[in-house]
Amino acid sequence: MMQPGLYHILFISAALFFIGVFGFFTRRNLITMLMSVELILNSVNLNFIAFNKYLWADKLDGLFFTIFVIAIAAAEAAIAIAIIINLSRNFQSIDVEKTDEMKF
Amino acid sequence: MSGADILFYMLAAMILGSGILSVTTRHIFRAAIFLLFSLIGVAGMYFWMQYEFIAAVQIVVYVGGITVLIIFSIFLTQQAGEKLPEQKMGRQLFAALAAFCGFAFIMLQILRHSFIGTTKTTAEPSVVNIGNQMLGVEQGGYALPFEVVSILLLAALIGCIVIAVRNKTQTT
């Protein structure tokens, strides 16, 4: 056990990213796939903040990128949930294997 | 080992443990709750790094907004309490192998690389500094991306209404 620093946070964010990738590969339900995408976006945010704090503390650019990623993630989640609700209305299912028709 | 170190390891265990449970549990509602705890852990990590503004934004947007949205959409689309169908063993094995190989590759690259930080004076991540730079139009200001993101949010708002609205003539 060492003093926690940049490498520890990079380890956490890499692990969180690949947990999200694992969920994205295995899940076949659209809502759980959306949750995996949220985990991936969070790991990226953690990375930006860690680099800003430990390497470029004289600037705030990593912090601004994190704010913009959070805003875009909120918009993405809202759109994805609108699409999921529309799908469940048309197909009575949100399983990606059953929704194989590109028709509105 | 100081108190801050113990706090760091507790937050790390919370983030990774609830992240793993969130992608492996077969109850979709539990997956949402574990995702909530993972996001709170990330917010705690921002507090640990003393970026209080980002931690507050994380709690407001992710924990208060996106997770509630996901829970509502679970109630609208699923039979809550029903288990998700069992996944194929081969697919899970392949996904775990791919994720582990990617993780090992990234960690090898990180550990072989030595990062060199700046030695200039630190900029305080206070709300005053963030606000001044966020709406600044001079070199290094973020006024233009701010406006672009606001247009994007407006477009997303309208798009959500258009996509999710129920079409009266089409319903059976």
The pLDDT tens digits for B81-114 are: 677 777 788 888 999 999 999 999 999 999 998 8
This prediction's pTM: 0.90
CA B44-B114-A10 angle, to 5 degrees, is: 25
Residue bearing tokens 């709750």:
B33
- Whether residue A1 lies inside any domain: the answer is no
Supply A60's token pair: 């705030």
d(CA B122, CA B135): 20
- Whether residue A103 lies inside any domain: the answer is no
CATH code for the domain of A76: 1.10.287.3510
pLDDT of residue B11: 94
d(CA A101, CA A85): 16
- Whether residue A102 lies inside any domain: the answer is no
Q: Quick one: average pLDDT of B6-27?
A: 93
CB–CB of A60/A33 below 8 Å? Answer: no
Q: Say if A40 is an interface residue toward chain B (CB within 8 Å).
A: no
- Whether residue A98 lies inside any domain: the answer is no
Q: Say if B9 is an interface residue toward chain A (CB within 8 Å).
A: yes
C-alpha atoms less than 13 angstroms from C-alpha of B99 in its C-beta half-sphere: 23
Work out how many domains chain A is built from and give that number: 1
Interface touch A78/B118, C-beta < 8 Å: no
Interface of B with A in 81-100 (CB under 8 A): 84-85, 87, 91-92, 94-96, 98-100
B161 compared with A93, residue with greater pLDDT: B161
pLDDT of residue B170: 57
- E strand or H helix at A34: helix A30-54
- Whether residue A76 lies inside any domain: the answer is yes
- Whether residue A100 lies inside any domain: the answer is no
